[in-house]
Amino acid sequence: MKSSRAHSIDPASGPADLTRQLCNIPSVSGDEQAIADAVEAVLAARAPHLRVVRDGDTIIARTELGRARRVAIAGHLDTVPINDNVPVREMRDPDTGEELIWGRGTVDMKAGVAVQLALALELDAPVHDVTWIWYDHEEVASDLSGLGRALRNSPELFEADFAILGEPTNGRIEGGCNGTLRARVTLRGKRAHSARSWMGVNAIHRAGMVLAGLSEYEPARVVVDGLEFREGLNAVRIEGGVAGNVIPDLCVIEVNYRFAPNKSVEQAADFVRDFFRDADAVDIVDAAPGARPGLDAPIAQAFSAAVGGEPSAKVGWTDVSRFSALGIPAVNFGPGDPLLAHADDERVPVAQIEASWRALREWLRVNN
């Protein structure tokens, strides 16, 4: 069901209330037109200092002040499917009494978009030029991504020295992300009747050495730009066998390698091919590069100081890697607990929204 009613956004009462308004515009992936229309309308009405470009349901809004540095600040407009959790409700944490907003999108990631949109509307002279980006189709297959599409269509709009993605991080900086690669590792043997097993070669038994190697392997912890990334190398699927009385001649193991962002996809593929060099074949099935956190750049260090706390490495793969692939260091920073993303009871503390808003505002207003 598509939502066709026009929604209007009123940012006057601050980022927490803006979170509620954005959540209450249904915007499941593929159904982002209404929320994109509302964002475009409020920018047209209240942000003459921004140059606004629309690409499908992705909106790019740029200051063009001729600052020495430019930062891209991005968030996705879509959510995973609604499950009786829109409109949002007010709640208090039963333990702490903390004020919460409960419902679909509160964590992933309307609170982050609200912080960004409030500042886009308010700050007509930030210390860095800013490219605000709100995009469609993040929660679905990567090739549908509105960010990917807009980057292909208008790469010049995305040039920047640093990028901040508003994915939920509990209001801390989570830098970069691991890359991921899947490979099929093939072991071959020779069929025989199992009553005469010595006439054959058992491909499943040969897989034992591969799995033993995986069991013994201690995944690396790699420090990149000051953050520690934990790698992982795992069998995620195994298959082999012909019949209950046949020595099997084929066993295939699918492995997933999560690799630190100091490695390219090609280096990761080389590592995997070498690790499984005793197998009969290693075929790379798919791969996505990691992203360096880039926290050693002065602009990033100033952002980190404004946010406070200790930055850490982002564990999962996020769209920061799209910026990283363009050579733009990128971090995740947004309100909300990432472990609640996609949960039917996702909920965000109002205080976290406000703290994220204050930190980002401080960094964009005070010369650093």
- Note the residues at the interface with a copy of itself (CB under 8 A): 178, 180, 182, 193-198, 202, 204-215, 219, 230, 232, 234-248, 251, 253-254, 256, 258, 285, 315-317
Nearer to a copy of itself, 254 or 280 (CB): 254
| Residue 154 phi, psi (nearest 5) | -140, 65
Minimum CB separation from a copy of itself for residue 7, in Å? 34
CB atoms under 10 Å from CB of 237, counted, come to 11
Q: DSSP letter string over 134-193?
A: EES--SS-GGG-HHHHHHHH-GGGG--SEEEE---STTS-EE-B-EEEEEEEEEE-B-EE
We find the least distance from the C-beta atom of residue 119 to a copy of itself, in angstroms, to be 30
Name the residue nearer to a copy of itself (CB basis): 84 or 198: 198
Which residue's CB is nearer to a copy of itself, number 84 or number 143?
Answer: 143
For residue 96, the minimal CB distance to a copy of itself (Å) is 25
- Given the residues 78, 136, 139, 225, select the one marked as catalytic: 78
Residues 6+ apart with CB under 8 A from 47: 61, 120, 121, 124
- Give the other-Cβ count within 10 Å of 275's Cβ: 19
Q: What are phi and psi of 83, to 5 degrees?
A: -135, 70
Cβ-based nearer residue to a copy of itself, 291 or 307: 291
* Catalytic residue flag (residue 138): yes
Phi, psi values for residue 292, rounded to 5° = -70, 145
CA 182 and chain centroid, separation: 18
Work out how close the CB of 248 gets to a copy of itself at its nearest, in angstroms, rounded to a whole number: 6
**Comparison of 248 and 261: residue with beta carbon closer to a copy of itself:** 248
**What is the smallest separation between the CB atom of 222 and a copy of itself, expressed in angstroms?**
14
Question: In DSSP terms, which residues pair with 150 in a beta bridge?
Answer: none
- Which DSSP state fits 124? S
Angle, helices 350-365/15-23, rounded to nearest 10 degrees? 120
Where in 31-146 does DSSP place strands (E)? 51-55, 58-62, 70-76, 89-92, 99-102, 129-135
Tell the smallest beta-carbon distance from residue 289 to a copy of itself (Å): 14
* Phi, psi of 283, deg, nearest 5: -115, 125
Q: Which is nearer to a copy of itself, 25 or 251 (CB)?
A: 251
- Of the candidates 136, 138, 167, 174, the residue annotated as catalytic is 138
115 contacts 130 by C-beta, under 8 angstroms: no
Q: Is 254 a catalytic residue?
A: no
Which H/E stretch holds residue 363?
helix 350-365
Between vectors from CA 140 to CA 136 and to CA 141, what angle results, nearest 5°? 115
Minimal distance in Å, beta carbon 202 to a copy of itself?
Answer: 6
SS3 357: helix
> With respect to a copy of itself, which residue has the nearer C-beta, 196 or 277?
196
| Omega cis (within 30) before 199 | no
Active site residues: 78, 138
